[in-house]
C-alpha cells in the first residue's frame, strides 16, 4: 500500500490515567471508533492504518522491533557491534519483568489488537450496500487481530483476550488460557481465508489474500499440534491459488557478483510485487521519498561494518568508496552502510552449509563471503581482505564480529539507495519485504507431515525447496525437526521470525545454548524458563482490580 496513511488514535492496554469526564465526551479533534467510521471510505482508511502498524513489525524506523524478532539472540545471530553489551547479549538480565523488550513487544502487539478491534467496531456504525465489501474489510481486520495475538500467545503464553476496543478505564484484566486465544486466532483466520480475495484479485500490491490467511493458519495449527489441519491449510496455499517457487531468473536482473540466480532475484528491489513472481504470498510495502512510505534497516542490522576496516597493510585507507558530489564516501553503494547488529552465528554462517557451494542460496551473490581492498592508491587494491596479511590488528574481536563476516545480501538493495546518498543509504533501503513466501509454506507442511509420522512426504516438500537452489536431495531418514529448522535457516534467514518459530516448538532455550556463539557470552545467558517472555511488571502493577499473574520463573 504505497500511499500516505492515517493512524487511528491509539490507546494503551491500560487507561487508568484517563478521566471519566474525558471519556464520556465524544471526541472531535482526534480519530476514534466513535467518530471515524461513517462510510466505506472511512473504513478503508482505518484498514490502511492496520497495514501501517503491521508493516512496522518488519520495517519500522525503530529497528529493535524488527531485527530482534527476526534473528537476534536466537541460534542465528548475536549483536556483532558489541557482543558484550548489545541487545539480547544477556537474556538473564534483559528479558526480565522490568525489561524494555518485553514491554515494547507487549505494548506494540496489543496496540494492533486495539486498532483491529476499533476497525471491526466501526464497520458496524452504518448500513452497508455491498455485503462482500463489508466482509472483505472484516476479514482484513480479523487477520491483523490474529496476526497480533499469534505474537502475544507465542511470546507470553496466556494473555488478556480482547475482542472489543477498550473505551473506559480498566484495571481488571486477567489472562485467558492459550487455548482460548488460539481458538480466537483460528476463528479469525478461518473467516479471513473465506472472505479475503484470491491471489491476483487484491485491491493493491501488499493487500492480504486468502493464501496469506491459510499460510498463517498452518503455523497456528502446528502450534496446537493439529498436524492434519496444518497440512491441509498449507496445501490450500500450495495447490489452490497459482503460487509456485521461482526457479528461473526473472524481473529486474542485477549482475554484480557473477553468481546471481533466481533466489537472488527474489530479493532484488522491485521484483517482489511482479505478477510474474508467483512465490510471494504477502509483501510488506515500502516507498522512498513518501511521508509514511516506510523504509527497511536490513543493511544496517544484518551487514558487516566493512568501512571500519581502517587501512590496508601498507597504511593506505582500505576502502575509498563511491564518488558522490566530488568526494569519495568510504562506502560501497552495493553494500550500503551496515552496523553489524546481527552477526550470524557460526551455525548459520558456516555449519549448516557443510561446504555445499552448489546450493544457490550459498552463492557469493546471496552470501557475500569475500571483501576486497578498494583504493587504487594501495598496493593491495582489488585483493581479498585477509587478516593474515596484517602483522597486527587493534581488535581481533571487532575484525570478526563487526568489520567482516558473511553478509546475507537478501537484506541489501545493491545500487538502489534513495536517501542519505553520501553514506550509500546510511544503512537503510526501501525494498519491499516478504512477510510470507511459498518456500516457507512447503516447510510448514513438511513439519506437519513429520508430526503425522509421514517422513517421506516431509522429505518431498523439503526437496521441492532444496531443488530450486540445486541443493542435494534428502531422504525420509534425514528428516527431523532440527533438520527442518536448519532448512528454515538456510532458506528464510532475515525473513522468518526465528524467535517465534523456536518458541512455538519449545526449542528456543536448547538451540540458543547450543548454537549462539557470542564470543563474550556463549549462550547469551538464556535461562530454562525463558522460552516465554515475562508479563511486563508495569502492567501487573497497574492492574489493581484483578490479578495479572506472572509467567513461571520470573
Decide: 400 and 246 in contact? Cβ < 8 Å: no
Does 150 map to a domain?
Answer: no
| 66/80 Cα distance (integer angstroms) | 16
Give the CA distances from residue 525 to residues 94, 273, 287, 301, in Å, rounded to whole numbers and listed in that order. Answer: 10, 41, 39, 22
* pLDDT for res 357: 83
Does 392 map to a domain?
Answer: yes
| 52/46 Cα distance (integer angstroms) | 10
pLDDT by position in tens, the chain (length 554): 333 333 333 333 333 333 333 333 343 344 556 667 999 999 999 999 999 999 989 986 555 556 677 899 999 999 999 999 999 999 999 999 999 999 999 999 999 999 999 999 999 999 999 999 999 999 999 999 999 999 999 999 999 999 999 888 899 999 999 999 999 999 999 999 999 999 999 999 999 999 999 999 999 999 999 999 999 999 999 999 999 999 999 999 999 999 999 999 999 999 999 999 999 999 999 988 777 788 899 999 999 999 999 999 999 999 999 999 999 999 999 999 999 999 999 999 999 998 778 999 999 999 999 999 999 999 999 999 999 999 999 899 999 999 999 999 999 999 999 999 999 999 999 999 999 999 999 999 999 999 999 999 999 999 999 999 999 999 999 999 999 999 999 999 999 999 999 999 999 999 999 999 999 999 999 999 999 999 999 999 999 999 999 999 99
Decide: 429 and 413 in contact? Cβ < 8 Å: yes
* pLDDT for res 61: 57
Does 148 map to a domain?
Answer: no
Rg of the chain taking only CA atoms, in angstroms: 24
Angle of helix 438-451 relative to helix 210-223, nearest 10 degrees, comes to: 30
Which one, of 531, 518, 401, lies nearest residue 73 by Cα? 518
* pLDDT for res 27: 39
Locate 450 and state its grid cell.
Answer: 513429520
* pLDDT for res 35: 65
Q: What is the helix (H) or strand (E) element at residue 91, kind and residue range?
A: helix 91-94
In sequence order, what E strands does 334-486 have?
343-344, 367-368, 407-408, 433-437
For the chain, the domain total comes to: 1
Residue at grid coordinates 479469525: 188
- The SS3 assignment for 514 reads helix
Cα–Cα–Cα angle for 50, 70, 462, nearest 5°? 105
* pLDDT for res 355: 78
The parent domain of residue 411 ranges over 252-266+286-431
- The SS3 assignment for 86 reads coil
Model-wide pTM > 0.85? yes
Does 399 map to a domain?
Answer: yes
Q: What are phi and psi of 323, to 5 degrees?
A: -90, 115
Does 246 map to a domain?
Answer: no
DSSP assigned state of 277:
-
Does 204 map to a domain?
Answer: no
* pLDDT for res 32: 58
Amino acid at each position: 500500500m504505497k500511499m500516505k496513511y492515517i493512524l487511528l488514535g491509539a490507546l494503551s492496554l491500560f487507561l487508568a490515567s484517563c478521566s471519566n469526564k474525558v471519556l464520556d465526551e465524544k471526541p472531535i479533534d482526534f480519530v476514534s471508533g466513535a467518530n471515524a467510521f461513517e462510510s466505506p471510505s472511512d473504513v478503508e482508511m482505518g484498514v490502511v492504518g492496520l497495514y501501517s502498524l503491521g508493516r512496522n513489525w518488519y520495517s519500522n524506523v525503530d529497528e529493535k522491533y524488527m531485527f530482534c524478532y527476526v534473528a537476534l539472540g536466537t541460534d542465528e545471530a548475536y549483536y556483532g557491534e558489541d557482543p558484550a553489551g548489545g541487545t539480547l547479549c544477556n537474556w538473564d538480565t534483559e528479558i526480565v519483568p522490568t525489561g524494555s523488550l518485553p514491554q515494547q513487544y507487549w505494548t506494540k502487539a496489543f496496540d494492533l489488537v486495539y486498532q483491529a478491534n476499533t476497525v471491526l467496531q466501526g464497520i458496524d456504525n452504518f448500513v452497508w450496500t455491498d455485503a462482500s465489501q463489508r466482509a472483505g474489510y472484516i476479514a482484513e481486520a480479523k487477520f491483523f487481530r490474529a496476526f497480533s495475538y499469534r505474537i502475544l500467545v507465542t511470546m507470553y503464553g496466556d494473555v488478556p483476550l480482547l475482542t472489543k476496543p477498550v473505551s473506559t478505564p480498566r484495571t481488571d484484566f486477567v489472562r485467558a488460557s492459550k487455548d482460548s486465544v488460539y481458538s480466537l486466532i483460528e476463528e479469525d483466520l478461518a473467516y479471513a481465508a473465506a472472505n479475503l480475495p484470491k491471489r491476483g484479485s487484491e485491491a493493491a500490491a501488499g493487500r492480504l489474500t486468502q493464501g496469506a490467511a491459510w499460510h498463517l493458519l498452518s503455523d497456528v495449527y502446528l502450534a496446537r499440534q493439529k498436524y492434519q489441519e496444518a497440512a491441509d491449510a498449507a496445501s490450500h496455499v500450495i495447490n489452490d491459488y497459482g503460487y509456485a517457487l521461482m526457479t528461473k531468473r526473472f524481473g529486474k536482473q542485477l549482475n554484480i557478483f557473477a553468481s546471481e540466480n533466481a533466489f537472488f532475484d527474489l530479493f532484488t528491489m522491485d521484483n517482489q510485487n511482479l505478477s510474474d513472481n508467483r512465490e510471494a504470498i504477502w509483501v510488506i510495502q515500502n516507498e522512498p521519498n513518501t511521508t509514511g512510505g516506510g523504509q527497511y534497516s536490513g543493511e544496517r542490522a544484518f551487514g558487516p561494518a566493512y568501512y571500519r576496516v581502517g587501512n590496508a597493510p601498507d597504511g593506505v585507507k582500505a576502502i575509498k568508496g563511491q564518488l558522490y558530489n566530488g568526494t569519495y564516501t568510504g562506502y560501497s553503494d552495493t553494500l550500503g552502510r551496515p552496523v553489524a547488529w546481527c552477526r550470524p552465528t557460526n551455525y548459520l554462517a558456516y555449519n549448516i552449509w557443510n561446504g555445499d557451494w552448489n546450493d544457490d542460496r550459498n552463492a557469493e551473490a546471496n552470501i557475500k563471503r569475500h571483501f576486497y581492498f578498494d583504493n587504487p592508491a594501495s598496493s593491495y587494491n582489488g585483493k581479498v581482505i585477509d587478516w593474515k596479511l596484517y602483522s597486527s590488528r587493534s581488535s581481533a574481536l571487532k575484525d570478526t564480529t563487526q568489520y567482516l563476516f558473511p553478509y546475507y545480501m537478501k537484506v541489501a538493495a545493491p545500487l538502489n539507495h534513495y536517501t542519505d546518498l553520501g553514506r550509500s543509504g546510511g544503512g537503510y533501503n526501501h525494498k519491499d519485504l516478504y512477510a510470507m513466501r511459498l518456500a516457507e509454506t512447503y516447510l510448514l507442511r513438511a513439519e506437519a507431515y513429520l508430526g503425522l509420522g509421514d517422513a517421506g512426504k516431509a522429505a518431498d516438500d523439503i526437496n521441492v525447496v532444496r531443488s530450486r537452489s540445486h541443493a542435494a536431495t534428502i531422504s525420509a531418514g534425514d528428516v527431523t525437526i532440527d533438520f527442518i529448522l536448519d532448512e528454515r535457516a538456510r532458506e528464510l534467514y532475515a525473513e522468518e521470525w526465528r524467535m517465534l518459530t523456536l518458541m512455538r516448538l519449545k526449542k528456543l532455550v536448547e538451540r540458543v545454548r547450543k548454537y549462539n556463539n557470542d564470543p563474550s557470552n556463549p549462550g547469551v545467558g538464556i535461562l530454562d524458563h525463558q522460552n516465554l517472555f515475562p508479563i511486563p511488571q508495569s502492567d501487573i502493577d497497574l492492574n489493581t482490580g484483578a490479578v495479572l499473574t506472572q509467567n513461571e520463573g520470573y
